[in-house]
Amino acid sequence: FCRHPGQIGRVYAFDLAGAGIGALGIVGLLFLVFPSTALRFVAALAFAAAAFAAFGMVRHRWLAAGGLG
């Protein structure tokens, strides 16, 4: 929100839309697979998103620190 103060409404709208789509996706996923499998899938997706975001950071030390865990 600090980087784009003039577009807070737009950022918030996309945040809410993404949360809604994610929630519907999880409900749909739970109809297809066991909950333990869905949890593994969501964890892998979150790890991939964190790694993708870390590559965009100026300091790559955070990626190494995250790998140590």
- Do 46 and 21 belong to one domain? no
- Do 48 and 64 belong to one domain? yes
Q: Distances in Å between the alpha carbon of 49 and those of 8, 42, 46?
A: 23, 10, 5
At 11 the pLDDT is: 85
Say if pTM beats, i.e. exceeds, 0.75.
no
When pLDDT is averaged across residues 28-48 and rounded to a whole number, the result is 94
Q: Decide: 65 and 57 in contact? Cβ < 8 Å.
A: no
- Do 40 and 60 belong to one domain? yes
- Do 22 and 6 belong to one domain? yes
- Do 4 and 21 belong to one domain? yes
- Do 67 and 39 belong to one domain? yes
At 62 the pLDDT is: 55
Q: Provide the residue range defining the domain that includes 20.
A: 1-32
Distance CA 46, CA 53 (A): 10
Question: Residue 19 has which token pair?
Answer: 């949360």
| Number of domains within the chain | 2
